Structure 1
Amino acid sequence: MRHTDPSAWMLAEAVELLQTADRLQRQFFRIGQPSESPNWEPPVDMYVNDRELGLLIALPGVAPERFEVTLEQQAIVVRGERSFGASLGPGAILQMEIPYGRFERRILLPFGGFRLEEMLLENGCLKLTLERLK
């Protein structure tokens, strides 16, 4: 929304820039030694029906050999690593919003048993299909 008063517009822009800077600082610049613990969690879409459970996990720039999927009791876990500058060319970074480093996402499954039926990495997303056990 654009403000007619220039000072209100500038204040709104400044607040938005400060919030973005704070988020990026927390996301990318961690004090201390590099950690073995995950730095970020990929977003997930999930659906279920009477036959299967489907998950779509956003993993932009993550190669198939850089992650693993494990099916645990009542949870599925996706963990791995996205390399810094995975698809960037040479030059100065002007904006960086896609996280990099170690990631892990633990997704609790609905009650019941499941078996991993299909795993497909396509267009930067991991599609998992789990068959519901009877």
Structure 2
Amino acid sequence: MADGNPRNWMWSDAIEMLSRAERMHRDVFSPRATRAQPTWEPPVDVIETDDKILIFIALPGVPPENVEAMIEDGTIVIKGRRVLPPQLRTATIHRLELPQGRFERRIALPPGRYDRVGTATSDGCLLISLHKAI
């Protein structure tokens, strides 16, 4: 608050928050080099209830048949590919923020055993539900 004017320090705080959000966006969607192919990582939410683990993966525009999910050593691996729709391949693109190409995300699962796996899509997200074995 250099000059005491709340408008100036609020604007400064807003600019700083936008800058921080931009850095976080770049970190989440920056390409990762794995197995000689660059990939990007979709954001996820992992939620645990009494009887299941719910994993929401943000994949707008990715059809479910372009996604693989498997459990390896207590980690769920989600991978696939997002491609531009054919009608956009010859279009002039003015801004392209949704990452394209190969993606892969590895998420450590909470300890436990799971006897059923369900998948669904909703609002641009893939939902994976792992039902806890009793």
State the partner residue of 1:86.
85
2:73 partner letter? Q
Q: Comparing both chains, which one has the higher relative contact order based on Cα–Cα distances under 8 Å and sequence gaps of 6 or more?
A: 1
2:106 partner letter? R
The question of whether the paired residues in 1 share the 8 Å contact of 2:116 and 2:132 is answered with no
State the partner residue of 1:101.
101
TM, length-normalised to structure 2: 0.68
RMSD between superposed Cα atoms in Å: 3.3
The question of whether the paired residues in 2 share the 8 Å contact of 1:71 and 1:116 is answered with no
2:69 partner letter? V
Where does 1:25-36 land on structure 2 (aligned, <5 Å)? 27=30, 36=36
Distance 1:106 1:36 in 2: 17
2:85 partner letter? A
CA offsets, 1:24-61, max 9 Å, x none? xx947xxxxxx753410010011102211001101111
Distance 1:95 1:38 in 2: 21
When residues 87 and 110 of structure 1 are mapped into structure 2, their CA distance, relative to the original with a 3 A threshold, is farther
SS of the counterpart of 2:119?
strand
Deviating beyond 6 angstroms after TM superposition, the runs of 4 or more aligned structure 1 residues are none
Provide structure 2 residue ranges, at least 5 long, that are not aligned to the other structure.
1-6
Distance 2:43 2:79 in 1: 13
State the partner residue of 2:4.
none
Q: Between Structure 1 and Structure 2, how many residues are aligned?
A: 115
Tell me how far 1:123 sits from its aligned partner: 2.7
1:50 partner letter? D
State the partner residue of 2:131.
131
TM, length-normalised to structure 1: 0.68
Where does 1:1-134 land on structure 2 (aligned, <5 Å)? 23=26, 27=30, 36-83=36-83, 85-86=84-85, 89=88, 90-134=90-134
Distance 2:129 2:77 in 1: 14
